Amino acid sequence: MQEKYKNPFEHLIAPGHTACPGCGQLMSARLVLDTCGPNTIIANATGCLEVTTTKYPTSSWKVPWVHSLFENPSALASGILAALKQKGLDKETNVVAFGGDGSTFDIGFGLISGMWERKENILYICYNTEVYSNTGYQASGATPFDANTTTTPPEKKSMGNNFLRKNMAELAIASGCIYVAQTTCGYPNDIINKVKKALTFTGPKYIEILTTCVPGWGTESEMTVQLGKLAHKTGIYPIFEYYDGEYKAMKIPAPALKVEEYLKYHKRFKHLFKDEKGKEAIAEIQKLADKNIEKYNLS
Amino acid sequence: MKYQLEVQPGTTIKNKTGGWRVAKPVVDHEICIGCDMCRKICPEGVCFPTGEKNSKGRIFYDRDLDFCKGCGLCAKECPVTAIKMVDDFK
């Protein structure tokens, strides 16, 4: 079929990759990369982002892109930066590391910690899908309380994941990152602004983006952006940035929505709407959200 | 036998993913206000400004159906509902 208007292929990630329809991660990655510009070198961890964009013998990327093992993007980025310093090109090139939540929260945590300790001028972007999306939705360190995943199915004695989400942004702040931000795929302009702002700092920077995983969360593909917004409006996932010793949060329009408004769209929280025990679990999650609102001064 | 191990940038455009979809977005050029939202949120990056203006003087947007996977995000997020998802029969 001949189209009247021609696609200019202007983005730095080319279409034709094999991500699911409605993928929040690819959407966020494209926004981040277009903001960083063509003068960027990417160190990519294993995960959906790597698998879907580089199906041999093709590649979606129009910038230098390196993939190493699951835990490696931060160490790899350190190496790239060291080579650029030798060549005297480190001032004009952005070194960016991309990782999913599995590689950031669990597997690669030691190496990220090392990168932050060395205070290297690297922007680390974590695409937090809250499960190991690429391998079949197993629970990771970022999986929220009571979520149903392949490894944490709700049974008689449990309501899903028993553990609370690891707060990686706080760990980054404690490790001395100069710019730390959390955002969701519900606010594309916010992602662009935060990446722009991060690139003005020299030092270790960390941005975490909550991205919808359509099959992993069991949501509809057209809800990707809406869920990013709801995660913020209910207080489940606070949007803030931290620099110069101060938190600057994106406020929630009062009154804050109840967490049910967010949970009801997910298949992974479906078991919470079945019985009395589920109601108690939702009350528990509501408490966590309220705590977030209080802690980051969201309202 | 020689293998070519290096990969050229942006070569996934060989892989036309349009066959995945069951519904396609149809843009009403007269309603489109050119807000750039569909271009920002499209996971494939196939929404783009056409460079032509409609009768209200706004540059309208269109999409590339060769790659559109029919997720419906653009139709859901369009602030003026200029985009509608219609069944795509092949």
Residues in B touching A60 (Cβ below 8 Å): 10, 12
Confidence of residue A114 (pLDDT cuts 50, 70, 90): very high
Cis check for the bond before A57: say yes or no (omega within 30 of 0).
yes
Residues in B touching A5 (Cβ below 8 Å): 48, 50, 62
Instruction: Say whether B14 and A16 touch across the interface (CB within 8 A).
Output: yes
Instruction: Say whether A188 and B37 touch across the interface (CB within 8 A).
Output: yes
Residue-averaged pLDDT of chain A: 90
Which pLDDT score is estimated for A113?
A: 92
Start-end of H helices in chain B: 37-41, 73-77
> What confidence tens digit (pLDDT) does each residue in A157-183 have?
888 888 998 899 999 999 999 999 999
Q: How many residues appear in chain A?
A: 299
> What confidence tens digit (pLDDT) does each residue in A58-92 have?
999 999 999 988 889 999 999 999 999 999 988 88
Residues in A touching B73 (Cβ below 8 Å): 22, 27, 221-222, 224-225
CA distance A147 to A128: 15
Q: What pTM value is reported for the model? A: 0.92
Which pLDDT score is estimated for A42?
A: 93
pLDDT tens track of chain B, all 90 residues?
A: 777 778 888 888 888 888 888 898 998 888 888 888 889 999 888 888 888 888 888 888 888 888 889 888 899 999 999 999 998 876
Please give the residue that has the higher pLDDT: either A83 or A55: A83
Structure-block tokens of residue A257:
């929505």
Instruction: Say whether A222 and B76 touch across the interface (CB within 8 A).
Output: yes
- Residue A193 makes CB contacts below 8 A (sequence gap 6+) with none
CA distance A144 to A127: 15
Which pLDDT score is estimated for B88?
A: 82
Is the pLDDT at A256 greater than 80, yes or no?
Answer: yes
- Residue B2 makes CB contacts below 8 A (sequence gap 6+) with none
Query: For the ranges A6-10, A45-49, A72-76, which has the lowest average pLDDT?
Result: A6-10
Is the pLDDT at A2 greater than 70, yes or no?
Answer: no
Going by CATH, does the domain composed of A24-295 fall within 3.40.50.970?
yes
Is the pLDDT at A1 greater than 60, yes or no?
Answer: no
- CA neighbours within 13 Å on the CB side: how many for B13? 18
Instruction: Say whether A55 and B15 touch across the interface (CB within 8 A).
Output: yes
- Residue A48 makes CB contacts below 8 A (sequence gap 6+) with A19, A23, A25, A100, A129, A133, A134, A213
What's the CATH code, domain B20-87? 3.30.70.20
Nearest to B10 among A24, A26, A62 (CB): A62
Instruction: Say whether A3 and B64 touch across the interface (CB within 8 A).
Output: yes
> What confidence tens digit (pLDDT) does each residue in A123-161 have?
999 999 999 998 989 999 999 988 999 999 988 888 888
Residues in B touching A189 (Cβ below 8 Å): 40
Our CA angle for A172, A195, A108, nearest 5°, is 40
CA distance A20 to A48: 10
- Residue A177 makes CB contacts below 8 A (sequence gap 6+) with A116, A203, A204, A205, A206
Please give the residue that has the higher pLDDT: either B81 or A1: B81
ipTM here = 0.91
Domain extent listing, chain B: 20-87
Amino acid in position A87: K
> What confidence tens digit (pLDDT) does each residue in A184-212 have?
999 999 999 999 999 999 999 999 999 99
CA A19 from centroid of its chain's CA atoms: 16
Q: Which of A143, A180, A177 is nearest to A162 (CA)?
A: A143
Which pLDDT score is estimated for A64?
A: 92
Contact criterion met (CB below 8 Å) for B9 and A42 = no
- Chain A: nearest CA to B59, how far in angstroms? 13
DSSP A106: I
Which pLDDT score is estimated for A275?
A: 86
CA A75 from centroid of its chain's CA atoms: 19
CA distance A258 to A86: 53
- The percentage of residues in chain A with a pLDDT greater than 70, rounded to a whole number, is 99
CA distance B20 to B15: 11
- CA neighbours within 13 Å on the CB side: how many for B18? 16
